[in-house]
Amino acid sequence: MILRRALALLLLGAAPAPLILAAETTATRPAQAPAPVETVVQSDQFEMVSSAKETTFTYRGNVRVTATNMTLTCDNLVIIARRSGDPALLVGKQERLKSLLATGRVRIVQDDREATAGRAEVLPDDDKVILTESPVVRSTKDGWEQRGDRMELHRGERRAVIPSNPRTVLPALKDLGYDKLPARKGPAPANAPPAASPSTPKP
């Protein structure tokens, strides 16, 4: 299904931690595959337009997508798929995903990871997900967070590029300062009383 492929591309791009530290921490956990569930799209309006070479699916208003281990919400969702077969048919054979564009209060949740942005675009030919308009990717469990003006998430490379204004928040680190040294014993003050000599026990 075209929509399922689109969502898989989006989540594979947005889910990995943009920081090596967070990625390594996540990778050490045992993976447990969730039980598959149906992919369901709900919205206020839906429109499908087909041409000889592609089909555009448009969902408008209160869009909510639920799939295996994933939830996506936004104001509008546009999916463009390449098609083949008889161009006279309203719905031809859907071949490949060309692009996915989610706009308006975009929020993607998978496990303990979350991505928010004003705009999320999936470009399968480039294996790239682009988040703009105040994007944030965070892990609610590990405590890391990444912000920037624009995020380019490269699927399969575990690589994120933030061209400008990056801001990274990591969990609190332990105190890396030196341990306190014991106080040094210096010479006794001049006015200090002499130390008492040990007494000789009486026979």
Would you list the DSSP string of 1-50? -HHHHHHHHHHHHHSS-SSHHHHHHHHTSPP-PPPP---EEE-SEEEEEE
Q: Where are the alpha helices (DSSP H) in the chain?
A: 2-14, 20-27
User: How far is Cα 17 from Cα 22, in angstroms, rounded to an integer?
Assistant: 6
pLDDT per residue as tens, the chain (203 positions): 556 666 666 654 544 443 333 333 334 444 566 678 788 899 999 999 988 889 899 999 999 999 888 899 999 999 998 887 666 665 655 567 889 999 999 999 888 889 999 999 988 888 888 999 999 999 888 888 999 999 998 877 778 899 999 999 988 877 766 666 566 666 666 665 665 555 555 65
55 φ, ψ (degrees, to nearest 5): -125, 135
Query: Domain 2-27+36-169 - what CATH class?
Result: mainly beta
Stated as kind and residue range, the H or E segment containing 111 is none
pLDDT at site 74: 97
pLDDT at site 160: 83
User: How far is Cα 55 from Cα 51, in angstroms, rounded to an integer?
Assistant: 6
pLDDT at site 62: 97
Instruction: Give the global pTM.
Output: 0.70
pLDDT at site 37: 78
